[in-house]
Amino acid sequence: MKIEPECIGCFFNQILKAFKLLKPDISNDIILDAQEHIMKFLLEKDIKKITSPLVGKYLYNLVGKILGDDDPYAHLKNESNHTALKFYNKIKEFVEKANNPILEALVVSALGNTIDFASQHKIDILNDIEEISPMDLIINDYVEFKKSLESTDRLVILLDNAGEIVFDKILVEVLLYFYPNIKIICAVRSAPIINDATIEDAEYIGLTDLVKVIKSSPAPGIDFSDISEELRKYLYSKNGMILSKGQGNFETLYGLEIPNKNVFYLLKAKCNLMERIFKVKVGSLILKKKIFGF
């Protein structure tokens, strides 16, 4: 997805939020210098052609460089994984007892993207899980998703954040149970970027013990100029199906025509741009099949 008008201000706000989260006592001058770097970066590019995830890649690498840390979110990712794993057994039991475990697992996977494990306020994961239902999928293409599952032998899941991947692991386990003949491949970031999941996170939560996990690219989405050949092969294959988790992956695939026609987005609408594109309210959960121009 090319940059939209809503994205510009968001980039500068992301710089501010990143520094306030990672180093609250940092000087305003350093924040302003970083925001100036983003301005210059955007001015040097063709703003009508560059994608949001590529700007995000530059932005968060800049944050790490200024802080002198290649993975400044590492402790938050570890905390997210550790916290989510505490609830893994109970959440899995809840999903397995549902009337439709696959649909429930999809909803839970989408919910995983909505919980900020690193926040200071008290969260009640189990209560959130028990209160949510398939009705909370404001856009729900589950029927199409199920049809695709029943006619494919391969599913590639583009994963999003650390912590959230514990919920994704439950989805993978449910799919493996009901469709043991489908080969599932999960893709994570090839290098640390924000709080996105990497191979280390997948290993920590035991996902690599279940399915093959591959690297995608070192961006908060997919950088097609630096994508692994393995993922490129899957994305450009006419066979199999793809489940894209989160907003970063959506922003990469939105409007991009690829041979694989069985692509589904599973995400939470987190900003005004998603509100405009999907025609839903911010906070809505979405399971949508990718169609021409989308």
CA distances to 21, 46, 238 from 62, rounded to whole Å, are 15, 20, 37
Q: Which fold has domain 74-289?
A: Rossmann fold (3.40.50)
Contact by Cβ (8 Å): 2, 42: no
* 232-274 confidence digits (pLDDT tens): 999 888 889 999 999 999 999 998 888 878 999 999 898 899 9
- Among residues 272, 284, 242, the alpha carbon closest in space to that of 114 is found at 284
CA dist., res. 91 & res. 97, Å (int)? 10
Under the banding of pLDDT at 50, 70 and 90, the label for residue 11 is: very high
- Among residues 172, 190, 192, 167, the alpha carbon closest in space to that of 182 is found at 172
CA dist., res. 58 & res. 225, Å (int)? 14
For 3, other C-beta atoms within 10 Å of its C-beta total 22
pLDDT value, residue 21: 93
* 80-135 confidence digits (pLDDT tens): 999 899 999 999 999 999 999 999 999 999 988 776 544 444 556 777 777 777 88
Does residue 293 or residue 185 have the better pLDDT? 185
| Cα-only R_g, the chain | 18
pLDDT value, residue 285: 92
For 209, other C-beta atoms within 10 Å of its C-beta total 10
pLDDT value, residue 124: 67
Contact by Cβ (8 Å): 110, 285: yes
- Among residues 244, 233, 236, the alpha carbon closest in space to that of 260 is found at 236
pLDDT value, residue 261: 80
* Residue 65 clears pLDDT 50, i.e. is over it: yes
Q: Which pTM does this prediction carry?
A: 0.94
Under the banding of pLDDT at 50, 70 and 90, the label for residue 154 is: very high
Place of tokens 């210098």: 33
Domain ranges for the chain: 5-67, 74-289
